[in-house]
Amino acid sequence: MHVKILCLGVLTLGEASGYEIKKEIEEGVFTHFIEASFGSIYPALTQLHADGLVTVRAQEQTGRPDKKVYALTGAGRQALTKALSVLPAKDKFKSEFLFQMLMSDYLKPDMLLAAIDRQLAHLREDLTGIEECQCAEMPLSGARFVADYGRAVLTASVSYLEQKRAELSSPSHPQAAE
């Protein structure tokens, strides 16, 4: 998905600078299923402005660099709606972790547990991230839907991994349980 549409989406929450948009994407509800770097956000914002989909306002700040605060225009809202009127592409999920698990025959034994523990740590981080971002406070009714979806999926992953991890590290049955 285009970073431009993403920016329009974030701006529906209220005006923001490029820096703030990045933060919102990194820490807000978007975190788990979208990524964007400054290198793509700033150019996107510039172009969005050129296309008349957002307005800019320079905001001076004491002690801090000046901000460029962007806000949606009517045309911007329309462009967003139009982009949302198409059925979304299929989710993309890429996991080096699962590749390693699949290839576990070629893995050093200690790496197996280490990789699982790392994965568990990541998943738990994401889970607490969802709890912390107060989705109820957001002006988007979809926020809870998304947060709950994330919670459901992450919880299932954690449960599965915890169970498998226990099996693997149990002293009695290191490999065969059948």
Tell me which of its own copies, DNA, none is bound by residue 36, counting a contact when its beta carbon lies within the kind-specific cut-off of 5 to 8 angstroms: DNA
Q: Under a CB-based contact definition with an 8 Å cutoff, are residues 33 and 142 in contact?
A: no
How many other C-beta atoms are found inside a 10 Å radius of the C-beta of residue 151?
Answer: 14
Size of the site for its own copies (CB under 8 A): 60
Distance of closest approach, residue 131 Cβ to its own copies, in angstroms: 17
Give the up-direction half-sphere exposure of residue 58: CA atoms within 13 A in the CB hemisphere: 3
Q: What string marks each residue from 61 to 90 as x (binds its own copies by CB under 8 A) or -?
A: ----------------x--xx--xx-xxxx
Rule CB under 8 A: is residue 137 a binding residue for its own copies?
no
**Which residue of 6, 21, 41, 127 would you call a contact of its own copies, by CB under 8 A?**
6
Distance, in Å, from the CA atom of 155 to the CA atom of 147, rounded to the nearest integer, reads 12
Interface pick for DNA out of 12, 14, 33, 43 (rule CB under 7 A): 43
The yes or no reply on residue 66 touching DNA (CB under 7 A) is yes
For the chain, the straight-line distance linking the first and the last C-alpha, in angstroms and rounded, comes to 46
- Name the phi and psi angles at 61, rounded to 5: -135, 145
Give one DSSP letter per residue of 121-156, joined into a string: HHHHHHHHHHHHS-GGGSS-THHHHHHHHHHHHHHH
Closest CA to 44 of 74, 62, 14, 68: 68
Does position 1 interact with its own copies (CB under 8 A)? The reply is yes
From CA 67, how far away is CA 53, in angstroms rounded? 19
Q: Identify residues 113-132 at the interface with its own copies (CB under 8 A).
A: 114-115, 118-119, 122
Q: Return the structure tokens found at 92.
A: 């993309």
At its nearest, how many Å lie between its own copies and the CB of residue 17? 21
Residues that bind its own copies (CB under 8 A): 1, 6, 9, 12, 29-30, 32-35, 77, 80-81, 84-85, 87-108, 111, 114-115, 118-119, 122, 140-143, 145-146, 148-149, 152-153, 155-157, 159-161, 164
Residues that bind DNA (CB under 7 A): 1-3, 17-20, 23, 35-40, 42-43, 45-46, 61, 63-68
